[in-house]
Every structure is written in structure tokens, then in C-alpha cells.
Amino acid sequence: MGQTVTLIPGDGIGPEVSEAMRRVVDATGVGIEWEVQEAGAAVVEEYGTPLPEHVLESIRRNKVGIKGPITTPIGKGFRSVNVAIRKALDLYANVRPAKTIPGVSSRYEDVDLVIVRENTEGMYAGIEHDVIPGEAAEAVRIITRHATDRVVRFAFEYARANGRKLVTAVHKANIMKLTDGLFLRRAEAVATEYPDIAFNDRIVDNMCMQLVQRPHEYDVLVLPNLFGDIVSDLCSGLVGGLGVTPGANIGAEIAVFEPVHGSAPKYTGQNKVNPTATIRSGALMLRFLGYIDAADRVERAVSEVIAAGDAVTYDLKPTRDDPTAVGTLEMADAIIAAL
Ligand code: NAD
């Protein structure tokens, strides 16, 4: 019997990219048993919540999940299911590798960054209230020593395990002296435990400019929650866009994999978007589960199909309306053929 994994297809483009990922992972022959669970707006009527307890229970039982994106109503409605999963399961490190894929056109060659985003607190603590409705509102940003230490330690352990040389802590400690000040001081303290890995820090606005101008000077970045979210999309943009960048939410015992991108509602049901980010998230999952050979094969097959440039979706073609672009599932089929 293979490993059982909770699969949350998500909504918007989620079900399409999840199906593509599932086909590719199945084609590796490792024999994953998929336990499919639904979450998001579609289940609210039936369960009274977009994240029913049995979905979390399934992930807790299997210890590993993979999900498509789930739509969050903007400026109203229920809170993000994606954030709720990370918090409920204490998946404290969000790891988002941004690495150039040959054949994907982008500003630079050989970008190889890993963004480690704190995933449980910061601006995503969810503490917001109206002071005067319609006039003034407040949010509380939480930074703790506990959450900072473990995510920074994760970044260093990741660096060590993956032959990386530098960890950069990214913050706004010049302005937010208490919260980001604590983040920076703890990052500096944890860094002393890792004399074999270089450490520096950058203020987030300067970091964004430097990443756009000199991404090769950086390696592993560790950031509080909101900065990590923004900077990881920026880094996706450096290596070809949201269609290609995978992600992993890692806790002490549980991990949930997902693409960096969202549910891109305007493309729902069109078999149009790029499945690469979710398929590569599947490869991260295979690696996490110890199926190293299968993970390597998926990565290689994805790279081969992209480098060949024929069976790829619209976003990887020279122009967005290229008539030779293929659909989501056709690209997955090409990757399976390359496996
Ligand atoms: P988005 O990532 O869904 O889409 C932004 C744009 O990126 C799209 O319009 C499209 O041009 C491009 N894009 C995204 N995925 C792509 C793919 N696979 N292939 C090709 N192009 C792709 O971001 P958004 O529009 O800001 O958010 C839409 C919804 O997704 C919101 O409800 C948001 O809350 C949610 N969201 C969910 C997650 C998650 O599930 N973890 C993450 C981000 C956003």
C-alpha cells in the first residue's frame, strides 16, 4: 500500500491543476492513495463553514496533503481557508523555491532563490476590527520570539540540508521597531547557531529593489508573513510567473503542498492555465515523502516539456494569444509522456 495523501482540489482553476498534478504523480507509479476532501465556498451551505473539521482531520491523519488554490472573498465574507489550514495545523514555514526553468522566458537566467515565509502570525493573525465603521479600522500584527525562532531555524536547517550558503532576514525594523525589531534580533540570535551559513539582513523595500536588479546575490530569504507573501510573488515573477512556482507549508509533523498562485477565477473551467506550479508542488511532496527518484523524474519531465516549448500553456508562449498553446491537461499529458 502506498502513502495516503489528502487532496483538496480547491476551486476556480484548482480542480483542473489538481487533476493534472494527480495524473502526473500517479504516472510515476509510486502508488499514492488520494483521499479527496472539498473545502471553500462550495461546502459552506452543507457544513456551515468553508473548512469543515473532517478536512483538517483527514490531513492530521495522513500527515501530508496537497491542495489547489481556494478563493477568498475580497474585502468581505469568510476568512481565507488557505490561511486557516496553515494555522490550524501549525504549518509554520511556507517554503517557495523560485528557480529559473530553462525555456521559460524571464528577465534573468540562473535565478535560484528560496523564500521561507513565516506562516502563522504577523499581519495574518486575523485580528482586525472597525474603530468607527466606514471611517477607521485597525489590524494587529503579531510577532513572537517562538514563531520567529522556529521559522528562522527552519531557514538555516533548509540551507544546511540543501547546500545553500546564505540566509537573509527581511524586515522593516527601522519603522516597526518592536515587531520587526524582535524578528531581526531573534534572526541574528538564531544565526549564531549556524556558523557554517552566512547571514545578513535587508529592509524589505530595499530587498524588493535588489531582487529585481541583482537576484543572484541572494539565496535563502526568511520573512514575516505578509512580506513573505509579497516577496514570493515578486520572486515568482523573476522566474516566469505564478504558473510555474510551487510551494510547501511545513509543520513539525504535517506538510501541505500547494502552488503559490491563487484560484484565477477568470480562467475557471477553461482547461487553459499552467499546471506546472501544482505539478512541481507534487514533486516537492514526493521528495518530502522520500520518493526522491520519482520527484527527480517529475522535475526533469517538467523541464523537458518546457524546454521543448511545444506542449506548453499560453503563459509560456512568446505571446499570450499564441495559437499553438495547449491546455492544462494536454500539458500534463506531455509531462507524463516525458516521464
Ligand atoms: P491568482 O494567483 O489567482 O491570479 C493572478 C494572475 O496570475 C491570473 O490572473 C493569471 O494571469 C496568473 N496565473 C495564476 N495562476 C496561473 C496559472 N496556473 N497559469 C497561468 N497563469 C496563472 O491571484 P489573484 O487573482 O490575486 O487571486 C484570486 C483568488 O485566489 C483570490 O480569491 C485569492 O484570495 C485566492 N488566492 C488563493 C491562494 C491559495 O489558495 N493559496 C493564493 C493566492 C490567492
Q: Ligand 1 center to residue 9 CA distance, Å?
A: 14
Is the CB of residue 111 below 6 angstroms from any atom belonging to ligand 1? no
Of the listed ranges 35-39, 41-45, 300-304, 332-336, the least confidently predicted one is 41-45
Report the C-alpha gap between 33 and 258 in whole angstroms.
18
Q: Ligand 1 center to residue 190 CA distance, Å?
A: 34
For residue range 47-90, list pLDDT tens digits in order.
Answer: 999 999 999 999 999 999 999 999 999 988 888 999 999 999 99
For residue range 278-292, list pLDDT tens digits in order.
Answer: 999 999 999 999 999
By C-alpha distance, which of 99, 96, 25 is closest to 289? 25
Q: Whose CA is nearest to atom 17 of ligand 1?
A: 243
Q: Ligand 1 center to residue 264 CA distance, Å?
A: 4
- More confident of the two residues 167 and 319: 167
Residue 126 pLDDT more than 90? Answer: no
Q: Ligand 1 center to residue 261 CA distance, Å?
A: 4
Ligand 1 atom closest to the CA of 261, numbered from 1: 2
Is the CB of residue 71 below 6 angstroms from any atom belonging to ligand 1? yes
Question: Is residue 103 very low, low, confident or very high in pLDDT (cuts 50, 70, 90)?
Answer: confident
Q: Whose CA is nearest to atom 34 of ligand 1?
A: 72
At 93, the amino acid letter reads A
Average pLDDT, the chain: 96
Q: In what order do the strands lie in the sheet with 4-8?
A: 33-36, 4-8, 64-67, 255-259, 246-250, 93-99, 112-118, 220-223, 166-171, 198-203
Q: Which residues are catalytic?
A: 124, 172, 205, 229
The share of the chain scoring above pLDDT 70, in percent, equals 100
For residue range 241-261, list pLDDT tens digits in order.
Answer: 899 999 999 999 999 999 999
The angle subtended at Cα 68 by Cα 320 and Cα 328, nearest 5°, is: 35
Question: Is residue 1 very low, low, confident or very high in pLDDT (cuts 50, 70, 90)?
Answer: low
Site of grid cell 476551486: 11
Is the CB of residue 263 below 6 angstroms from any atom belonging to ligand 1? yes
Q: Whose CA is nearest to atom 12 of ligand 1?
A: 242
For residue range 151-192, list pLDDT tens digits in order.
Answer: 999 999 999 999 999 999 999 999 999 999 999 999 999 999
Q: SS3 for 335? A: helix
Q: SS3 for 100? A: coil
Is the CB of residue 229 below 6 angstroms from any atom belonging to ligand 1? no
Which pLDDT score, from 0 to 100, does residue 246 have? 96
CA distances from 144 to 120, 186, 200, 308 (A): 10, 9, 20, 47
Q: Are 28 and 84 in contact (CB under 8 A)?
A: no
For residue range 213-228, list pLDDT tens digits in order.
Answer: 999 999 999 999 999 9
Q: Ligand 1 center to residue 262 CA distance, Å?
A: 3
Site of grid cell 485597525: 138
Q: SS3 for 139? A: strand
Is the CB of residue 277 below 6 angstroms from any atom belonging to ligand 1? yes
Is the CB of residue 264 below 6 angstroms from any atom belonging to ligand 1? yes
Is the CB of residue 96 below 6 angstroms from any atom belonging to ligand 1? no
What's the whole-model pTM score? 0.95
CA distances from 138 to 130, 172, 175, 229 (A): 6, 19, 18, 20
Site of grid cell 493534472: 20
How confident is the model over 124-150, as a mean pLDDT? 95
First to last CA, the chain: 22
Q: What share of the chain is helix, strand, coil (3-state, %, to 5)?
A: 40, 20, 35
Q: Ligand 1 center to residue 32 CA distance, Å?
A: 27
Report the C-alpha gap between 154 and 91 in whole angstroms.
12
The share of the chain scoring above pLDDT 90, in percent, equals 92
Question: Is residue 30 very low, low, confident or very high in pLDDT (cuts 50, 70, 90)?
Answer: very high
Is the CB of residue 50 below 6 angstroms from any atom belonging to ligand 1? no
Contacts of 22 (CB under 8 A, 6+ apart): 7, 34, 282
